Amino acid sequence: MWDFFETVRHRHSVRKYRSDVAVEQEKLHAILEMACAAPSAGDLQSYHIHVITDPAQRQQLSEIANNQDFIAEAPICLLFSSDPQRAGQKYGERGEQLYALQDATIAASYAQLAVVAAGMASTWVGYFDEEKVKQAFKLDAKLRPVAALSIGYPAELPEESPRRPIAEVVTQL
């Protein structure tokens, strides 16, 4: 296991997955545990995670996501949806509009890092038609799909992506 800094440094978006190696249930469970351990507004966990393992469903999601083929190629896809009503009960409109979205994306971020720590790879997918996803996967009407993670063992090791210099991104007040 890597320390946190190594885990973050080794996180890359992978769009080619090995078809000869399945994701172990223990590792999937650990990833989901880490997603659920993520901080959330008021500890409400205003999100839901759907685990998509069926090849036909992953293919359908791939098509809904502008034909991003790697989604169908990965053995697992996690679909993260916010639950605005849950956050809104405690925090009103700001909870509905912002906190639920933050909760779902923080959980997805924790899952993404857990995937790396487990020796696998993922790609964050945010480009999809929300309404088509809701219909295709029969999501509860109160949920809003916000992100998907394709997960599996990498069949490629992409080069490190360039990052903006810290001084360009950070301002000390």
Residues 104-127 have a mean pLDDT of: 96
What local confidence, expressed as pLDDT, does residue 96 receive?
97
Confidence (pTM): 0.93
What is the 3-state secondary structure of 108-156? HHHHHHHHHHCCCEEEEECCCCHHHHHHHCCCCCCCEEEEEEEEECECC
What local confidence, expressed as pLDDT, does residue 2 receive?
60
Residue 167 lies in a domain: no
Residues 102-114 have a mean pLDDT of: 97
> What is the per-residue pLDDT across 26-65, written as a single tens digit (0 to 9) for each?
999 999 999 999 999 999 999 999 999 999 999 999 999 9
Residue 163 lies in a domain: no
Residue 165 lies in a domain: no
Q: 56: domain range?
A: 4-157
> What is the per-residue pLDDT across 123-144, written as a single tens digit (0 to 9) for each?
999 999 999 999 999 999 999 9
Count up the domains in the chain and report the number: 1
Q: Tell me the pairing of strands 47-52 and 121-125.
A: unpaired
Q: How many CB atoms lie within 10 A of CB 5?
A: 8
Residue 75 lies in a domain: yes
What local confidence, expressed as pLDDT, does residue 159 receive?
80
- Residue 77 sits in a domain of what CATH number? 3.40.109.10
Q: What is the average pLDDT value for the chain, to the nearest integer?
A: 95
Asked whether residue 167 carries a pLDDT value surpassing 80, the answer given is yes
Asked whether residue 1 carries a pLDDT value surpassing 80, the answer given is no
Residue 128 lies in a domain: yes
Rounded CA separation 117/51 (Å): 19
Residue 170 lies in a domain: no
Q: Which residues of 84-120 are buried (b: 16+ CB within 10 A; e: fewer)?
A: bebbbeebeeebbeebbbbbbbbbbbbbbbbbbbbeb
Q: What is the largest CA-CA distance in the chain?
A: 51
Specify the higher pLDDT residue, 140 or 158: 140
Residue 108 lies in a domain: yes
What local confidence, expressed as pLDDT, does residue 51 receive?
98
